[in-house]
Amino acid sequence: MDPVVDFLQYKDNAKNCVGLAGGGNRNFNSLYNHTARDIAHGLDVPVVFEFEFNGTNKDVENFKKVVNNFGTK
């Protein structure tokens, strides 16, 4: 089984999940970040950030902003 799903299924981890971030390859078109979107849908939480491949330094900066602002809404 997928390690992320294993982690989410362990004890109350899924209940503590408030959003997901996912990385992928845009060459896959509609399947880009499919797994993150699928898990988020199953948990009824938003995908709060998407990035291509391993991301860039700018992606890291932008993701930190999203995480820092997430609890203030």
Instruction: To the nearest 10°, report the CA torsion of 27, 55, 6, 13.
Output: -130
Domain carrying residue 59: 3-70
pTM to 2 decimal places: 0.80
The CATH code of the domain that includes 13 is: 3.40.50.360
Q: What's the number of domains the chain is made of?
A: 1
Model confidence at 66, pLDDT cuts 50, 70, 90, reads very high
**Average pLDDT score, the chain:** 90
Whole-angstrom distance, CA of residue 15 vs CA of residue 17: 6
Element (H, E) at 68: helix 57-70
Q: Calculate what percentage of the chain has a pLDDT beyond 70.
A: 95
Model confidence at 73, pLDDT cuts 50, 70, 90, reads low
Question: What average pLDDT does this structure show over 8-35?
Answer: 91
